[in-house]
A and B are shown apart, each in its own frame.
Chain A
Amino acid sequence: MSTLEVRDLTRTFGDLRAVDGVSFAARGGMLTGFVGSNGAGKTSTMRMMMGVLASTSGDVLFDGAPVTRADRRTFGYMPEERGLYPKQPALDQLVYLARLRGIPAATARAEALEHLDRLGLADRAKDHVEKLSLGNQQRVQITAALMGRPRALILDEPFSGLDPTAVDDMVDLLRGHTARGVPVLFSSHQLDLVERLCERLVILRGGRVVADGTPAELQETGTVRHRLVLGGDAGWVRGVPGVHAVDVDGATALLELADEEAARRLLAAAVERGTVRELSPVRPSLAQIYREVTS
């Protein structure tokens, strides 16, 4: 199991602190999702992890030691705005990019053919990449990062623009790598996807980490709400001290309770007025947590 870690990573562009003291770890065997709005610093962080962008300060560590060029050569990387050589066959460029990373030609060729076969592109291996559909081009790009049993994967928006089936295929591939104990860090805008896939989640806002943990851990930290279902109209709950009504719809209300005392007061008042069908805590969704931590 390897760990890819950043410690106090900072990058300034003029007066702008694009990445501001970011620390987190992507652990081996896990998919770590990297979430944040545009301009939050995700791409800059990933570029610094890969050594493509110089950091202003801070460290990138691989298994506890500062990451070297030789380490990075064994990482699979997929940059954000990407492309391939449009006029070169998919097979040739997969082999070329792998050979640059020191993988022997024959090994690279065999592995590339295997990948293309799995993607259903075996018969298009010799076609120029520009003749493939955009989705297939993107699969080839992800494949380029996966060649040669990488020791870590850093993928910037790998799934954007892929249809759900393609996403599942790619996730299966990534799972194959986490099963080997490899840390996989990927950024995404698609929260539902991240929630479904990731064992761990890092949320960035304005260049800082605002949340870091497993989805369950993050849900603990989010504001717990309660749902109250009554026999009759629930409009009166707005008047109860210590109770904040997020939403009232007929007999159902979504509430934030200030403390235990407020809960007791609410329940007593409800029982006095008639039937109480339900009063239960509601686990916040990741989307809700995301909005809370990034707002």
Chain B
Amino acid sequence: MSKRVLVLLVVLLVAAMALAACGGSQATPAPSGGEEQSTSGTTEEQASTEEACKVVFGAAVSLTGKYAKEGEYVKNGYELYVEEINKQDGIPVGDKKCMVELKIYDDESNADRSAQLVEKLITEDHVTFLLGPYGSGNTFATTAIAEKYKVPMVEANGAATKIFNRGFKYSFAVLSPAPNYLRGIIDMALDKDPNLKTVAIVIENGAFALEVAQGAKDYAEEKGLEVVYFDKYAKAAKDVSSLITAMKSKNPDIVLGAGHLQDTILVMKQSKDLGLSPKVFGFSVGPTSPEFRKALGKDADYVVGAAQWTPELKYKSDDIFGTPQHFTELYKAKYGEIPPYQAAESAAALIAYQKAIEAAGSLDKDKVRDALAALDYDSFYGKLKFNEQGMNVYKPMAVMQNYTDGGLYTVWPKEAAVKEFLYPFKPWDER
């Protein structure tokens, strides 16, 4: 009996490995929408007649765990691009066109799992190119794998500069780096009221937020503001009332928050509880997401947030989306809501690939890498151009505000603003 059990275990183990290794194609990726099925169907039909050309993009994205919501936006952005480009029979490579396929796994918002999945995408699924996960932590872990196997990764959701300080050759980011996030808000506030004197900054204790905060502090001081409060709260904190009280006792003109959606909501909620009413409330991530309004209702009014991209920007491009407005239409038709910038930048990562592939005229990984390094393209998302480290430092950040009519509008930069920046923040006790 027992012998059989052990033999069975060993056999099962070996069989499981062999099966997984030999039949890589049998692996079921996380379901990622109907359009891929139809895509691969077409590819198979073509394969029977001629050598089909397809380019497979792989990504590990957080579909569960703490970044599930943001991960969903990322996936939506990737999928929207794939659907649109396949309507035009794919990406032109040299003189033929290659259909695009997407392979997405759920990394559970876990950096370990993210790295493991990217290794699977490269060595088991043999994807052509890699896309990024959500968040600086996961991106940091996965770029190392991409570098190891010399597979390019264009990522759209890891803004920490430390990802790019390691001298990697195969990692590129389409989004503006973290230290730039809050600069737009500072500029805008000073433009509206040059008499603003003091800033308080609260920071989520995480790699991305710390860089955002440091960048904001340096910039504020450069602009002659006094930083009266600068402290961090624990990641996934459930109570920040101590920090709010501390800030309140400094009575700052501007309160800036460096963090993510969930803690931004918490800071707002407890600011109301404790009666913290500065003249400007600005955050790095959060206010631009539909979830923010859903969670706070009327209390979201007046709050401004940094945006990598907004639907109202005035970019014009010859890419498949053309303008931010057209991207917004397509996104709304498919997903029923205004696209958050995470979706746009994710789609932009694929546009960067498309333009690099077109320039290289090939799907060769090294040639495409070189073309990416040389890329200089104006997309619906803004400029796509990378510095030596692979960061896109050429694109400005925008600012959006939650308006009293329940809408979310671009208020900065001035040339793209659709509404006037509502100032000052209406104190809680006057509402």
A interacts with B: no
Q: Which residues of A does B touch, CB under 8 Å? A: none
